[in-house]
Every structure is written in structure tokens, then in C-alpha cells.
A = this chain, B = another copy of it.
């Protein structure tokens, strides 16, 4: 039997708290899960530093990747199979793309990519196409198969329907993470009737569409997403942890560039510092390795690196105030001056962080292309863009919300053993008094 059609002698079942069970029958999927590159995702948290705000959020990307696979498997096998618009030959491609879509994520991706100017999507491509165990499994299916999978994940595939299952405004990725992140954090947001949405998904040539009767479930999904963004993903305490993490990496890089002699040499980071990251090096970088360095660096001479590492490890985070960078640039300048005067380096200790989200949008001429809108399949067979049918979605469509905060180490500002009056000035300016 062709490897692509090979089934396991007995179906494997993973107990999953979100979907109850994840079912694997295909040999190819089973083999992919067993690769070292996929197992590595167990050492990358799904929500980065969020566990410092919501202590339950310790789940990994391994967890989430299985979930996305399971959702797609159910769409394909339980809903699409047998419909004329769906070609069951694309089943395996779709499942593989779902399983592997996050393969290239680095440790604490958000800060990591920002500091080192990397893009996890490029690494996903590199792992699928490079000299890896994953590539070997995919190649066994067909020589051209890795490329096909990579293109679906990169959204460059011609098969727009398959792409839309993995990434669109209502894809398996989002449906899994909203529910999963809600489950592990324990928040009451993030719930919507996925069973219903799956039942009303229909394949069309260019995209997956939703039967009109499922509109309310989709509205609920969009609202869940909105709440999760502002209640969980953009939580100001999580952002404080990200700010510190960013500054740790920043400081280490700056020190390296200045020629600083590390007590504990940053072997794993060298290729990053030198802007020439080899795939092999990248794959060694997981969160365990990062935390190892952060522990070691607490014993470095450099007071800033040392302090920031300790803050991250012991969750001694920065405090924040609301801040409007457009209007308050003068204040920011004043604060920078005062921080310097107080001996607190503003480059590392006075940080503006901005979060922004667009809850739902449809394509508008002249805009960047990515926002494939959600289409409802009306009873008469027509497609209708969601916000034209739903009052609620219309009301929030295209409304971007942005939030800015200014982060700083409040404990230092209240430490009156030095620079007492400057610190008082700072506290007054920050409205802390």
C-alpha cells in the first residue's frame, strides 16, 4: 500500500482536554508526531509568558498543534467528505499542514522574533523543506509533498480552499487556540459552539464558507476572539513580562556587540547575535535552554542583565501607567532624562508597549490583502459577506482598537536609599503619588 494511504493497525487516540480525544489513523501523521522537530514543540509554551499572569497557561504548542490537526480532521472526514466541491485526495495535505503549521516557532516567540528580527513562518518553511526528520517523512509520501505542505502554510498554495481551513478569519488554528487558551487559563471567555460551526462549514472553490444558519455561532466566535485578545493575550501584566524578556535579550545582544566577557558564554545565542542563524542551531533553542541561560546570567557581572534575568525568573515585573505616545512625547522625554539622572537606564527600564487588534474585517480596496472575509452561504446559494448580514459584526467591523502603556520598575522608584528627590519627581510625573 502507498505510504500516503497507510493506516495504523489500531487507531491511536490522544486524550485531549479540549476536544476529548485526538484521533490518528494515518501512518504519515503518526510518523510526523514522532519526529524530533515536532516533539520539540513540547518545550515551547503556546502562550509564551502568559503563565506569569494566568498560572494555568503552561500548555505547549505541541498541545495546540494536535488540536488544530483534530479540528481539520473532523472537518475533512465528517463534514466535507463526499461533497462534490471537496477533493478527498487533498485530505492528507490538509492534515499535514494543520499539524505542522506552527513548527517553526521559537522560544517565547513574540519577544524573541522582535529582538532578533526573525519570522517563525520562515523557520516553519525551512524545517519542512530542510534536512529534517519531518522532511524525510513528507518526502516518503511524494518528492513534491514537502513543498505542497509548505505552500499551504505559507498561504502561497493555489489551493485556496485548503489554505482557508488553516488560515483565515475563521480557521482551525483560531478555533483551537481560543478554546484551548480559555481552558488552560480558566477564563470564561473563549467559548463558542464549535460543534455547530463545524457542522455548517461548506467547501467552495476558493474558501470554506458557513451556512447562513450558523451565523450566530460565528458571531459568538468573533466576540470570543475579541474578549480573549483584550482579556488574555494583551493582558497588561503579560505585556510587562514580555517587556522584561525583550530587554533581557536586548541587553545580552548589546553586551555581546560591545565585546563584554560573559561568565557563562551564550553559545546557543551566538548565531543569533551574528545574524546568521543555521536551522540546526535554531532547533536547539527551546524554552528550557532559554531559562537555563536566564538562571546562569543572574550571576553575571553586568548589573542590568543580572537584574532583568532575576526579575523574569522571580516574576518581579514592571508596573505600568496608561500612556499616549502621540500626545505625551514631551513627558516621555522628561522621564527619560529623569531616569538617567536617577541612574536607571531608560533604554531598559522605561518602555512603551502598544497592543492593537482588529476584531473582524472585510477587504477594502487599497488595503493589505490578508483579510479574507467570512462568507455566509445563503439559502438561495449565494455567498454574502458576514458583516452585511450580521448587525453585531457590522457594528465592530473594521474598528481597530489600540492600547498603549508605559512600563517601569516601581520598586526601584520607591527605593529611597538613593536619588530620593529625583525619584520623587519621577513618581509625581507618573502620577504615582
Any B CB within 8 A of the CB of A274: no
Interface string of A130-167 (1 = CB under 8 A from B): 00000000000000000000000000000000000000
Q: Are A15 and B186 in contact (CB under 8 A)?
A: yes
Q: Are A195 and B20 in contact (CB under 8 A)?
A: yes
**Among A242-250, A255-263, A283-291, which stretch is in contact with chain B?**
A283-291
**A15 vs chain B, min Cβ distance (A):** 5
Specify which of B21, B62, B226, B290 is in contact with A392 (CB 8 Å cutoff): B226
Q: Which residues of chain A (281-316) have a CB below 8 Å from chain B?
A: 284, 286-292, 295, 310, 313-316
**A428 vs chain B, min Cβ distance (A):** 17
Q: Are B54 and A63 in contact (CB under 8 A)?
A: no
Interface string of A183-219 (1 = CB under 8 A from B): 1111111011101100100000000000000001101
Any B CB within 8 A of the CB of A58: yes
Any B CB within 8 A of the CB of A326: no
Q: Are B60 and A14 in contact (CB under 8 A)?
A: no
Specify which of B14, B51, B231 is in contact with A55 (CB 8 Å cutoff): B14
The closest CB in chain B to the CB of A19 belongs to: B186
Q: Are A15 and B391 in contact (CB under 8 A)?
A: no
Q: Are B63 and A58 in contact (CB under 8 A)?
A: yes
Q: Are B193 and A56 in contact (CB under 8 A)?
A: no
Q: Are A396 and B391 in contact (CB under 8 A)?
A: yes
Any B CB within 8 A of the CB of A251: no
**A176 vs chain B, min Cβ distance (A):** 13
Interface string of A50-78 (1 = CB under 8 A from B): 01001110111011001000000000000
Any B CB within 8 A of the CB of A2: no
Chain B residues contacting A188 (CB-CB under 8 Å) are 191-193, 195-196, 217, 220
**A291 vs chain B, min Cβ distance (A):** 4
Q: Are A17 and B191 in contact (CB under 8 A)?
A: no
Complex-state Cα separation, A55 to B66, whole angstroms: 9
Any B CB within 8 A of the CB of A27: no
Q: Are B314 and A36 in contact (CB under 8 A)?
A: yes
Any B CB within 8 A of the CB of A384: no
The closest CB in chain B to the CB of A180 belongs to: B56
Any B CB within 8 A of the CB of A404: no
**A271 vs chain B, min Cβ distance (A):** 16
Q: Are B314 and A39 in contact (CB under 8 A)?
A: yes
Interface residues of chain A, those whose CB is within 8 Å of chain B, are 13-18, 20-21, 34-36, 39, 42-43, 51, 54-56, 58-60, 62-63, 66, 183-189, 191-193, 195-196, 199, 216-217, 219-220, 223, 226-227, 230-231, 284, 286-292, 295, 310, 313-316, 391-392, 395-396, 399, 401
A-B contact pairs, 25 of them (CB 8 A): A15-B54, A15-B55, A17-B186, A20-B186, A21-B195, A34-B315, A35-B314, A36-B310, A42-B51, A42-B55, A42-B58, A42-B315, A55-B60, A55-B63, A55-B66, A56-B59, A56-B63, A188-B191, A189-B193, A220-B223, A223-B223, A286-B295, A287-B288, A289-B291, A289-B295
